[in-house]
C-alpha cells in the first residue's frame, strides 16, 4: 500500500468524570477518524494527561498527576489495541509518562497496528520543563517502524527540532515522520511546526503534527494548549507549493485529514526538483547519526 489517509488530531484536554467517560471520548474520536477513511490516526504528545482528572486527590499536583497517568497505561493501551483492531487502522496513542523499573519516568508514544502488534517510541530530547519540573528522562534510540502502510518514525514534539534524529530514520527508509506535540504558546507551536516542515524538506518525506488544544485550568501539567494539526510534505513536484497538504484551525478540537502517497517520496528522493535527502552528506561537517533500531508491525 502506498496511498492512504492520515488523520491528525487537534485533541482537547478534558476534565473527565470517570474511566467510562474516557473510553467514550476516545472511542468517538477513533470512530470519527475511521469514518473519514483514515488508515493512520495520530494523537498528540501528553494527551493522556487528561487521565489525571480521574483521581481528584492528586489531579492538582504535578507529581501525583504523573503517577496517576503512568499507573493507568496498561488499561489505556488495551483500549487502543482493541480500537485499532476493531476499526482496522493504525493508531498513535497520545504520549504519556511511563514509570520504568529504575523508577524514572519517560515520555512514551505507542503505535498500535490492526493486527494486534504495537511498538513504543520514547522521547529522546527533553525540554526544559520536562527536565527541571517534571523529572522526565530521555529514551535511547529512534526507531524505524515497518508497517503495512509504509516505513514510519516518531519524533515527539521537541525531538522534531533536532535534524539528526529524523535523518537517522530517513537514511533507514522512513517515509512518514509522526510529530505528536504539546505546546502552551504559539511560540512553542511554531517551533515544532517549523521543525516538522524542515524535516519534511530535508528528508523529502511527509511529516504529521498533532497537538493538544484548549485550556485545562485544573491541570498543573497541560493547563494551556496551543496549536494546529497538519500534514506536511516537501514543496516539490506533486506536492503543494508551500508543502502544506492539510492544516486545521488553530485551537479547534478536530481531525485534520490528508491522503499521502509514499511512492511519491521515493520518486522525489530519486528525481525531485532538488535532492536534499541524497545530498545531505555533502554538508561540511555532516555529523555521525544517532543510534537507530528497526522494528516491524507488519
Candidates 192, 276, 193; CA nearest to 234 is: 276
How high is the pLDDT of residue 228? 98
Instruction: Tell me the mean pLDDT per 10 residues along the chain, length 298.
Output: 95 97 98 98 98 94 96 98 98 98 97 98 97 95 97 98 96 97 98 98 98 96 97 97 98 98 97 95 82 89
Classified by CATH at the fold level, domain 3-296 comes out as Nitrilase/N-carbamoyl-D-aminoacid amidohydrolase (3.60.110)
Separation between Cα atoms, residue 253 and residue 201, nearest integer Å? 28
Query: pTM (2 decimals)?
Result: 0.97
Beta-bridge partners for 154 = 178
Other CB atoms within 10 A of residue 188 CB = 19
Amino acid at each position: 500500500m502506498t496511498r492512504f489517509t492520515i488523520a491528525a488530531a487537534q485533541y482537547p484536554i478534558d476534565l473527565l468524570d470517570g474511566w467510562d467517560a474516557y473510553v467514550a471520548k476516545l472511542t468517538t474520536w477513533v470512530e470519527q477518524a475511521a469514518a473519514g477513511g483514515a488508515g493512520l490516526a495520530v494523537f498528540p504528545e501528553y494527551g493522556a494527561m487528561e487521565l489525571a482528572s480521574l483521581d481528584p486527590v492528586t489531579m492538582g499536583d504535578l507529581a501525583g498527576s504523573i503517577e496517576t497517568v503512568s499507573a493507568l497505561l496498561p488499561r489505556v493501551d488495551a483500549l487502543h489495541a482493541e480500537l485499532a483492531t476493531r476499526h482496522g487502522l493504525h493508531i498513535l496513542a497520545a504520549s504519556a509518562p511511563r514509570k520504568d523499573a529504575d523508577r524514572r519516568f519517560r515520555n512514551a508514544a505507542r503505535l498500535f497496528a490492526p493486527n494486534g502488534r504495537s511498538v513504543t517510541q520514547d522521547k529522546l530530547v527533553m525540554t526544559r520543563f520536562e527536565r527541571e519540573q517534571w523529572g522526565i528522562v530521555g529514551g535511547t534510540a529512534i526507531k524505524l517502524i515497518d508497517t503495512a502502510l509504509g516505513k514510519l518514525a516518531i519524533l515527539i514534539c521537541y525531538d522534531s527540532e533536532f535534524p539528526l534524529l529524523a535523518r537517522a530514520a530517513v537514511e533507514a527508509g522512513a517515509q512518514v515522520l509522526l510529530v505528536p506535540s504539546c505546546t502552551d504558546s504559539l511560540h512553542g507551536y511554531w517551533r515544532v511546526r517549523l521543525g516538522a516542515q524542515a524535516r519534511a524538506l530535508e528528508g523529502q518525506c511527509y511529516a504529521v503534527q498533532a497537538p493538544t488544544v484548549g485550556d485545562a485550568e485544573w491541570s498543573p501539567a497541560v493547563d494551556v494548549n496551543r496549536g494546529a494539526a497538519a500534514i506536511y510534505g516537501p514543496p516539490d513536484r506533486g506536492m503543494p507549493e508551500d508543502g502544506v497538504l492539510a492544516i486545521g484551525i488553530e485551537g479547534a478540537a478536530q481531525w485534520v485529514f490528508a491522503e499521502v502517497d509514499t511512492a511519491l517520496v521515493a520518486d522525489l528522493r530519486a528525481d525531485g526538483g532538488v535532492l536534499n535527502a541524497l545530498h545531505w552528506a555533502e554538508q561540511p561537517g555532516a555529523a555521525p547519526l544517532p543510534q537507530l533500531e528497526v522494528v516491524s508491525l507488519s
